[in-house]
């Protein structure tokens, strides 16, 4: 489309056009010089003659009004809004500070790649801006968070631009549709119904981060159950993958309610989950002396965890269980011998159950054998006690969200009990609590690696 103005044109006797910064369906943003201050500015121009819907002008004026009261270091400051009349046309102009840097889309086009740590830092910066916007009265919803609207300087500082997003969404959806690259990938589902809430901006940020990590439009990434399958296209730590998963929930009520909550969740250290992606937890080979038998092929992984040694940490629990059960036996037998009413012996049943449970935990390491089998389609976790199968869970491998090592929240002698677990939706299948921490880390790492490999698009 032909530009509205040419370099060296002077607008409103004050702004000299230098070059075109960006061009949309009905308007153009220029880099210009303010002849009064000699400051370089961004000047956004709209031509009345080119407007095909009065809604466009309303949204352009709304953008200027919103920008006039925003004050944040990562949002280019509003400077001026004016109109110029000519015999043939009426022109509307919005003037802002000129933000340094290039858009994230430009950075990626030039070959820029980021890892998880840098993605988190960028997310934190954007969420801080969104937290400010969402805290205003009324809240300001940007509505068009995408790589083209986030500028980045070479030192990593970001700027959020283009608060005419409602206008752009309206135009792209109704007139240009799928020809606009990436539009559908970054818009939250509720925007197609004409609705936007605070969580709408979070979806756009999540999609932007996914684009930076994969260099693919989110609209082109694999989906599972109408949702982008993050783990099929990225190699992320479980906690960051879970966080990004929630940012990209199709149902807005399943996302974080606002940027403040999303930021708090991103910055909070994992309380019970240990990050396997952390370099200090990477174990190159099976720990010396480990009796775990692991067989892995391209199609499946089989794990046999035989009964383990009696650990010293279980000795105290075993002794306490013996004393507890001995006391309950003495109390119950005495009550029966003295001819006490029947409810006295029955009253001891809960205490017997507690005592037997304690004894079971103490003897579990030397009596329980565990089998784990995972292939491309199914998984199975089976446990036997002295040859008797007492637990088995099965399911679809595609339903496994992660395989983790974490604090089970149990305590023995005031010490935390760590375990491995298969995470299947809201269900957690724990196993391997009798293993050493090094064995648990190694095993969870091996199973996670296999799961990631079979889900890879190239597998």
Name residue 175's beta-bridge partners.
none
Judge whether 144 counts as a catalytic residue. Answer: yes
3-class SS of residue 290: coil
Cα 13 to the chain's mean position, in Å? Answer: 49
Residue count (the chain): 459
CB count, 10 Å around CB of 101?
18
What is d(CA 415, CA 359) in angstroms, rounded to the nearest whole number?
A: 18
Catalytic choice (9, 53, 85, 144): 144
C-beta neighbour count of 347 within 10 angstroms: 14
Interhelix angle for 116-135 vs 198-214, to 10°? Answer: 160
The answer to whether the beta carbons of residues 403 and 443 sit under 8 Å apart is: no
Q: Residue 165's beta-bridge partner residues?
A: none
Distance (Å) of CA 197 to CA 280, 285, 319? 40, 48, 58
Query: Using an 8 Å Cβ cutoff, are 444 and 438 in contact?
Result: no
CA distance 332 to 24: 85
Distance CA 237, CA 63 (A): 38
Catalytic (active-site) positions: 144
């Amino acid at each position: 489309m032909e530009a509205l103005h040419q370099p060296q044109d002077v607008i409103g006797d004050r702004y000299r056009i230098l070059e075109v910064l960006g061009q949309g369906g009905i308007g153009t943003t220029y880099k210009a010089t303010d002849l009064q201050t000699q400051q370089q500015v961004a000047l956004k121009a709209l031509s009345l003659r080119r407007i095909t819907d009065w809604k466009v002008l309303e949204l352009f004026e709304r953008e200027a009004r919103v920008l006039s009261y925003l004050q944040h270091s990562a949002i280019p400051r509003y400077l001026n809004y004016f109109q110029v009349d000519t015999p043939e046309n009426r022109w509307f102009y919005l003037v802002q500070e000129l933000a340094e840097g290039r858009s994230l889309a430009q950075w990626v086009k030039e070959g820029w790649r980021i890892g998880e740590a840098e993605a988190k830092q960028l997310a934190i910066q954007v969420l801080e801006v969104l937290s400010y916007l969402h805290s205003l009265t009324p809240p300001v919803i940007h509505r068009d968070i995408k790589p083209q609207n986030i500028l980045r300087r070479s030192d990593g500082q970001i700027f959020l631009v283009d608060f005419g997003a409602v206008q752009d969404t309206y135009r792209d959806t109704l007139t240009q549709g799928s020809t606009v690259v990436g539009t559908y990938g970054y818009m939250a589902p509720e925007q197609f119904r004409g609705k936007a809430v605070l969580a709408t901006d979070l979806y756009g940020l999540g999609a932007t981060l996914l684009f930076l990590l994969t260099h693919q439009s989110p609209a082109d990434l694999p989906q599972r159950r109408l949702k982008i399958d993050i783990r099929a296209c990225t190699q992320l730590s479980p906690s960051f993958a879970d966080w990004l998963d929630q940012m990209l929930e199709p149902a807005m009520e399943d996302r974080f309610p606002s940027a403040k909550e999303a930021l708090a969740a991103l910055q909070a250290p994992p309380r019970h989950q240990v990050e396997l992606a952390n370099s200090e937890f990477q174990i190159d080979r099976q720990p010396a002396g480990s009796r775990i038998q692991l067989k892995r092929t391209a199609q499946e992984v089989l794990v046999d965890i035989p009964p383990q040694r009696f650990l010293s940490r279980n000795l105290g629990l075993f002794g306490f269980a013996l004393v507890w059960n001995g006391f309950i036996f003495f109390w119950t037998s005495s009550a029966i011998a003295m001819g006490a009413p029947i409810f006295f012996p029955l009253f001891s049943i809960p205490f017997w159950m507690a005592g037997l449970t304690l004894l079971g935990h103490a003897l579990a390491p030397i009596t329980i054998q565990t089998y784990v089998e995972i292939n491309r389609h199914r998984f199975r976790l089976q446990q036997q006690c002295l040859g008797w199968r007492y637990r088995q869970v099965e399911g679809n491998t595609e339903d496994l969200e992660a395989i983790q090592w974490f604090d089970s929240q149990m305590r023995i002698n005031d010490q935390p009990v760590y375990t491995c677990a298969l995470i299947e939706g809201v269900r957690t299948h724990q196993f391997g609590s009798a293993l050493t921490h090094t064995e648990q880390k190694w095993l969870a790492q091996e199973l996670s690696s296999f799961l990631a490999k079979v889900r890879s698009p190239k597998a």
